[in-house]
Each structure stands twice: as structure tokens, then as C-alpha cells.
Amino acid sequence: MKLTMVGTGYVGLVTGVCFANTGNEVVCLDVDPAKIERLSRGESPIYEPGLTELMERNIAAGRLTFTLDKTRAYRDAEMIFICVGTPSDERGHTNLGYIQQAADDIASVLTTLGPGQKPKVIVVKSTVPVGATLMVKDRIRKVVGPEIPFEVADNPEFLKEGDAINDFNRPDRVVVGVESERVGELFRDLYEPFVRQGNPIFIMDVPSAEMVKYASNNFLATKISFINEMANLCEAYGANINRVREGMCSDRRIGSHFLYPGLGYGGSCFPKDTLACIMMGDLSGLPTQLSRAVHEVNQRQRELFFQKIAGHFGGERGLAGRTLALWGLAFKPRTDDIREAPALTLAARALSCSAKVRGYDPVAMDNVRKEAPDIELIDEMYACARGADALVISTDWDEFKSPDFGRLAEALKSKVIFDGRNLYQRSKLGEMGFTYYSVGRAPVKP
């Protein structure tokens, strides 16, 4: 099939590459010339394990191309997947500006095509509030008039950055919202190679498909805020969240996924999708009290951890002139995405108290250089810790899980670790003379 991806970010690029890999002819469109230039050279602008290899193979086979040219991208496509960003605005409402722009661009190319052709399917793959896909339809229809045929669909994406290729190629489920059987069948054909193991394709109405995505992300965010709230209670009452977690998660009704205490969720999805549910609740007159609490618990979690750091130094004023070394800047491991990363919140709070902040991350440092230039970036983890008053672990990259503690002790000015991901055993750190703070467990002090 001839497909066009609108936007070559984490979703558009992975989707385009994976659809090309099953034999489709895919054009990826973006408005960012620097991205298209890199992509055309076979270079991925994002870090995603396995992506570059798959991209190179499909470019070489002639099935995958990149362009800035909207007419070329939209004219021949049978299905157009809108994969642009839907960030929160300053009120926490969803900014649909990129979606609207994409709809307008599509409409202006459709008007040049004339009536007698096969209807294109315009698919919203971005995460959008309920009603946005039909808004896209109305917006395009107003420009092209009644004669030019097209249909719309919603196809929310569930990939996880860091595992995106695997998630796309073997999805737990595919969800599609359609307005006709014909479009449902097109989706079945398109996704059939991805569900060979029997995972389901759910074809439903458009509003329900839009809502599945929010319900899923809000549920996952709720689990994270829940375990963090329990972790805080554990700390207050002398319990150990790791033991509590084991005891609780062995109940099959509860399970263990997404129940890890830490610094709370970040990234480009959970924070904004929780806010979008709050927005939808407020606009409908049925406030989503749980989503609001989940969001507030998540914001508070970062601040509580920062207060732990400040408390060690006698309060926020005691941080002035201190140096903190941050291990991990991405919002989670295996990605270079720093959107809403807890590390950046901690860094900003420390900098506002006149501390110095150094950071190391295996892949996210280029993005941090652009977005948070006040963080001094050091390209090796022990060098980052050298001379620092404390080490702060904010992302659970594998390489931080079993460090050389002797080397770390030598590098740090004082042997203090704030572990926002509970990576280490308290007893071991205590024996080695570290002061060790984590989440939901009593601190260890020599």
C-alpha cells in the first residue's frame, strides 16, 4: 500500500519504517528541514534501539523515502497517518495546532486532485482528545467541499520509546476507530503481518478508539503514582517499599508491571495524557478526580526527592555552592527523550538554589545541551562524579546498576548517593561507608 507518515518523530518514524519493512511504499513527511536532511542520509534524528538498521534496509530497498514536499507526500498516498505532536499548552489543555496544520495541508493538496478518485484514508495516529479525529474530518471537508472523497480513522499508538520497534512489530493489540467497514478491512490487511501470533485487532467507533489511548495511559500513570504514594508512607512509618512491593505484587490480581517506586513518570506521553483527561473531565462537567490526584502525586514526588537532597545539606540554602552529579538525564532508559524528565526538574531546582549541576547520560546529552545549557555535561560517568558533593541517580540505565563503588567513592568529594530509582542494596552501601538515600526505604548513614 502507498502510505504517508506526517511527522518523523518517535511515532511517525518508527511507524513508517515498520510499515515499509512489511513491503509498503512509505513516504515520511516533516516540516523540519534538518530532520529530513539527516533522514535522507540514512541517519536517525532520534535514538531508538534497532531503528537505524531497519531504516537503512528499507531505504536501500526503495520502499522508504523522506520529503519536505507536501504535494508529493499527499498526492498519491492511499492512507495518510498524522503522527505530529499533541503537547499540553500552558493551561494543561491539549494543543491541537500541529494536527490542525496537518489537516489544512492535506486539504489544500486534496483540492487539487478532483473528484473521480479512490477515497484516501486520513488516519490520526497522534494521541488526541475524543472528538479531534472528527474535527479533522470537518476541517478538511470545509476546504475540499462535498465532491472530493476521503475518510478518516483513529489508530492510537502504544509503542514505548526504548522498545519501540519491538512494540510496533509485535503489538499486544491494535486499536482502530473507523466510520466504514471498508476502512476497517484496509487496517486488517495493513496490520495482519504484525499480529501473526494471534494478538487482536480491535475495530471500533472513532471516539472509543481515541478514548482507549487515554484510558490506558491514565491507568498506567495511576499505578506509578499509587506505588509512589505507598513508598512515601513506607518511609514515614519505617517500612521498606521493596518488601511491600514483593508482598503485594505476588497477588495475581495486582501483578508487578508499572509498580516501581521512583521519581514519578515523565516523558512526552503520561504527563500530557493525564492532563488531557483532566481537561476532558472539566470540559464535560464531570471532573476526573483520580487523574487530578495522579498528576499531583507525580509532581509532588519530584519535589519530595529534591527536599531529601536539600535536607541532607541543611535545607535549600545549604545547597549554594555545592556540586551535584546527575547520572541519567533522559526520562527513562534506552531513549534520548528528555521531555518532562525528572532529572531536569531536579537540576532546575538545584540550580535555583545556586548549586552546580553536572550530568551524564549515555545518549541524551545532545538534547540536554540544547534544552538545559546550565547543566555541565561530562561524557563519562565517573568523571561526572569527580569532586561532587553528592551523586543523584535519576534514570535507571543498565550501566548504573552495578558500578565500581570503590571508584565512585574515590571520585566523589563526599560519599553521598541519592538514588531516585532504588538501584542498590542499602546494606551493601552502608557497609561501604556511603550515605545512601532512596525511595520508600529508610536512609543509610554510616
> Which triple of cell numbers denotes residue 97?
495546532
Q: Which is nearer to ligand NAD, 273 or 419 (CB)?
A: 273
Beta carbon of residue 121, minimum distance to ligand NAD (angstroms, whole number): 17
Amino acid at 283: L
Q: Which of 301, 355, 298, 367 is nearest to 330 (CA)?
A: 367
Grid cell listed for 427:
546494606
Q: Which residue is nearest to ligand NAD, using beta carbons?
A: 9
Query: Is the CB of 368 or the CB of 392 nearer to ligand NAD?
Result: 368
Beta strands in 138-267 (DSSP E): 150-154, 174-177, 201-204
Q: Measured on CA atoms in the order 340, 341, 344, 345, is the torsion positive or negative?
A: positive
Nearer to ligand NAD, 31 or 239 (CB): 31
Reading phi first (left if > 0) and then psi (alpha if -120 to 50, else beta), residue 392 is in beta
Query: DSSP H helical segments within 330-419, as ranges?
Result: 342-352, 365-371, 381-385, 405-411
Looking at residue 178, what DSSP letter applies?
-
What end-to-end distance do the CA atoms of the chain give, in Å? 65
The three-point CA angle 135-110-105 to 5° equals: 60
Phi-psi region of 241 (alpha: psi -120 to 50; beta: other; left: phi over 0): alpha
Q: Could you list the residues that contact ligand NAD (CB under 6 A)?
A: 6-12, 29-32, 35, 83-86, 98, 101-102, 105, 126-127, 157, 159, 161, 268-269
68 within 8 A of 33, measured Cβ to Cβ: yes
Specify the residue, 272 or 349, whose C-beta has the smaller distance to ligand NAD. 272
The nearest distance, CB 91 to ligand NAD, in angstroms, is 18
Closer residue to ligand NAD (CB): 158 or 226: 158
Is 269 labeled as catalytic in the residue annotation? yes
Q: Cβ closer to ligand NAD: 7 or 403?
A: 7
Q: Smallest gap, in angstroms, from Cβ of residue 82 to ligand NAD?
A: 8
Task: Please report how close the Cβ of residue 58 comes to ligand NAD at its closest, in angstroms.
Answer: 18
What is the nearest approach in angstroms of ligand NAD to the Cβ of residue 269? 5
**List 18, 83, 234, 269, catalytic entry:** 269
Taking the complex as a whole, how short is the minimal distance between the CB of residue 355 and ligand NAD, in angstroms? 31
Listed in order, strand segments (DSSP E) in 78-213 are: 79-82, 120-124, 150-154, 174-177, 201-204
Task: Kindly list the catalytic residues.
Answer: 269
